[in-house]
């Protein structure tokens, strides 16, 4: 494979992998704390992207303002979906499958609310209007100011999230809920409040991920939905329980979708159109052979990531 | 003091306790005894609002507990140590203890954690370890310590000696006795009647959801017929 292609694909791996990590950590956290594989997570990202787009179109071009707007809208959509749908369902003690289907339904509703809005205001395939600047150029490899935003922001947020989970009292309570929710109740942890904070956090991070996504491609009502299978593949690689496994999983998926497929294309003539199949293959292989995900492998290697 | 009147409770639609009335006295170490399925654990869960209560009343010094959320009951000073899954296994020992102390005002937490070292010295040495790696006895001590840290006035323990080697079970009961001497009200559910009767003050015997005997531990021990008849121990 030509070195320039390889470098470009590795840069994409880092960029896309960081975004996957940001979203997949939310999936893992929701699954651990709420026992819910939430497919509506995709739409929190899309909602965040639209918030970022609208704020940027209205003239606020400060990336920080844009990200905060995205966080806020993502967080709010997550909290509302919890309070309006998931919490009442949990109260009725419905089965796990009902919750999964409900999460699809919530996703569908948000997605088509966004479609309607995008249609009305003609907001399809627009890029968040931060001016583009080329920072670095070497043959095929072009690094813009967007790259300088996307990967570092994701990495910093992933770092802050891990710190919050492992070092702060709220994070400790979230992990306590994930571990043993009945005991958490018994010792007086305000379970519903911790759940609300968790929803705000995962929704907000998804929103920021969506905005960062919209920076490098374009904002569309289907953008979150298109990414969700890859994001789930990353979370499943983390066993839906391990944060370090999920982060690693995100980069594995991104690497497979960018570098591996390119390698197969250049050397064996595999068509690049097979790229969307990669996350499905990863999910099936992991669930068949290693349903606990990468966690144990990492622990064995000495990293005591939770 | 917890006063229970005409309590009918169980799980889902199943009624296990029938019209049960009894009073747990303040600053006493009470044991609730009885064979499997007699409703001992059901009673504890009913106090904590963790199952279904069909009727009756549970009062903590004139305050009705039925209908209160579990978190609120715990904040009234009643701590509950379940029989199983009574620690946060994936968290470190220290994190378990910090969660136990979280209901205390911030400035009291360090003192409480320090005082804990005297009652449960082993936990101090294990603080960085993941809780799941503790031995059976240490695990049980941690569960009791989590409950103790919230400075409860009443502690409910569901079979604290289950699955422990005799020497370690004795150790657990010694700790409970020490807590009782500090002025705590203890209510302990046990299958192993003989051992707990050596440590507790008062005993209730349940059978098929009804109270069939109550009296001081001494009476209960003296009355061999009670033990044989109701508890099936020899």
Interchain CB distance below 8 Å, A169 and B98: yes
**Mean pLDDT across B56-69:** 93
Write down the pLDDT at residue A303: 38
Write down the pLDDT at residue B232: 62
A261 confidence band (pLDDT: 50, 70, 90) = very high
- Considering only residues 67 to 106 of chain B, which have any Cβ-Cβ distance to chain A shorter than 8 Å? 69-71, 74-75, 79-80, 82, 85-91, 95, 98-100, 102-103
Interchain CB distance below 8 Å, A175 and B88: yes
A143 confidence band (pLDDT: 50, 70, 90) = confident
Q: Are A189 and A233 in contact (CB under 8 A)?
A: no
Interchain CB distance below 8 Å, B100 and A187: yes
Q: Residue A301: is its pLDDT beyond 50?
A: no
**Mean pLDDT across B60-79:** 92
**Mean pLDDT across B157-178:** 91
Q: Are B73 and A186 in contact (CB under 8 A)?
A: no
Interchain CB distance below 8 Å, A187 and B82: no
Structure tokens at A209: 């991920």
Interchain CB distance below 8 Å, B75 and A186: no
Size of interface A-B (CB pairs under 8 A): 67
Write down the pLDDT at residue A298: 54
Write down the pLDDT at residue A302: 38
Write down the pLDDT at residue B230: 67
Touching check for B62 and chain A: CB below 8 Å?
no
**Mean pLDDT across B125-153:** 92
Q: Are A189 and B149 in contact (CB under 8 A)?
A: no
Q: How far apart are the C-alpha atoms of B101 and A175, rounded to whole Å?
A: 16
* For A173, nearest residue in chain B (alpha carbons): B99
With a CB cutoff of 8 Å and minimum separation 6, the contacts of B202 are B25, B28, B29, B30, B31, B214, B215, B216, B217
Q: Alpha carbon B81 to chain centroid distance?
A: 5
Write down the pLDDT at residue A300: 47
Cα angle, residue A36 at apex, residues A34 and A41 outer, rounded to 5°: 105
- Considering only residues 35 to 54 of chain B, which have any Cβ-Cβ distance to chain A shorter than 8 Å? 48, 50
Q: How far apart are the C-alpha atoms of A154 and A157, rounded to whole Å?
A: 5
Write down the pLDDT at residue B234: 44
Write down the pLDDT at residue A297: 59
Write down the pLDDT at residue A128: 82
Write down the pLDDT at residue A296: 59
Q: What is the largest CA-CA distance in chain B?
A: 52
Give me the residue from A179, A184, A185 closest to B89, CB to CB: A179
Q: Which residues of A touch B82 (CB under 8 A)?
A: 182-183, 186
Interchain CB distance below 8 Å, A183 and B82: yes
Rounded to a whole number of angstroms, the distance from the CA of A190 to the nearest CA of chain B is: 7
- Considering only residues 142 to 201 of chain A, which have any Cβ-Cβ distance to chain B shorter than 8 Å? 169, 172-173, 175-176, 178-180, 182-191
Write down the pLDDT at residue A126: 85
pLDDT, tens digit, 9 for 90 and up, residues A174-205: 999 999 999 999 998 999 999 999 999 999 99
Write down the pLDDT at residue B225: 72
- Give the whole-number percent of chain A exceeding pLDDT 90: 61
Write down the pLDDT at residue A305: 40
B233 confidence band (pLDDT: 50, 70, 90) = low
**Mean pLDDT across B225-232:** 68
Q: Residue A45: is its pLDDT beyond 90?
A: yes
DSSP secondary structure code for residue B216 in this structure: E
Interchain CB distance below 8 Å, B89 and A191: no
Write down the pLDDT at residue A42: 96
pLDDT, tens digit, 9 for 90 and up, residues B180-221: 998 999 999 998 888 888 899 999 999 889 998 898 988 888
């Amino acid at each position: 494979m030509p070195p320039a292609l390889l470098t470009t694909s590795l840069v994409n791996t880092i960029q896309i992998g960081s975004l996957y990590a940001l979203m997949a950590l939310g999936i893992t956290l929701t699954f651990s704390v709420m026992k819910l594989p939430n497919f509506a997570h995709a739409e929190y990202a899309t909602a965040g992207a639209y918030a970022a787009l609208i704020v940027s179109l209205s003239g606020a071009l400060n990336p920080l303002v844009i990200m905060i707007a995205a966080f806020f809208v993502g967080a709010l959509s997550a909290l509302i979906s919890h309070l309006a749908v998931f919490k009442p369902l949990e109260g009725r003690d419905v089965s796990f499958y009902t919750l999964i289907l409900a999460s699809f339904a919530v996703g569908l509703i948000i997605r088509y609310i966004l479609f309607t809005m995008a249609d009305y205001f003609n907001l399809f395939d627009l890029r968040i209007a931060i001016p583009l600047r080329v920072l670095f150029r070497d043959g095929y490899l072009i690094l813009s100011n967007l790259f300088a935003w996307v990967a570092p922001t994701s990495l910093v947020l992933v770092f802050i999230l891990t710190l919050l989970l492992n070092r702060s009292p709220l994070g400790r309570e979230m992990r306590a809920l994930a571990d043993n929710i009945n005991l958490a109740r018994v010792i007086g942890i305000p379970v519903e409040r911790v759940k609300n904070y968790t929803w705000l956090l995962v929704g907000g991070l998804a929103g920021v991920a969506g905005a960062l996504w919209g920076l490098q491609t374009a904002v569309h009502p289907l953008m979150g939905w298109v990414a969700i299978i890859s994001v789930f593949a990353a979370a499943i690689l983390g066993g839906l329980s391990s944060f370090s496994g999920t982060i690693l999983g995100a980069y594995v998926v991104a690497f497979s979708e960018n570098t591996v497929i390119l390698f197969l294309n250049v050397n064996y003539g595999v068509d690049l159109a097979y790229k969307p199949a990669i996350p499905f293959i990863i999910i099936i292989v992991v669930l068949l052979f290693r349903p606990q995900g990468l966690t144990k492998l990492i622990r064995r290697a000495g990293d005591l990531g939770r | 003091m917890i006063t229970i009147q005409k309590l009918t409770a169980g799980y889902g639609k199943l009624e296990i306790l029938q019209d049960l009335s009894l009073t747990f006295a303040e600053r006493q170490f009470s044991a609730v005894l009885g064979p499997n399925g007699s409703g001992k654990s059901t009673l504890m869960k009913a106090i904590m609002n963790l199952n279904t209560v069909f009727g009756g009343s549970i009062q903590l010094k004139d305050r009705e507990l039925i209908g209160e959320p579990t978190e609120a009951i715990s904040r009234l000073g009643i701590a509950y140590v379940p029989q199983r899954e009574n620690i946060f296994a994936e968290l470190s020992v220290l994190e378990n203890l910090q969660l136990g102390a979280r209901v205390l005002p911030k400035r009291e937490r360090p003192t409480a954690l320090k005082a804990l070292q005297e009652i449960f010295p082993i936990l101090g040495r294990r603080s960085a370890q993941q809780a799941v790696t503790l031995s059976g006895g240490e695990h049980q001590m941690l569960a009791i310590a989590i409950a103790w840290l919230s400075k409860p006035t009443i502690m409910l323990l569901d079979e604290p000696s289950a699955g422990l080697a005799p020497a370690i079970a004795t150790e657990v009961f010694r700790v409970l006795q020490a807590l009782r001497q500090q002025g705590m009200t203890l209510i302990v559910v046990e299958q192993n009647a003989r051992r707990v009767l050596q440590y507790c003050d008062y005993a209730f015997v349940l059978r098929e959801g009804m109270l069939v005997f109550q009296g001081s531990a001494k009476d209960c021990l003296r009355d061999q017929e009670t033990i044989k008849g109701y508890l099936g121990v020899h």
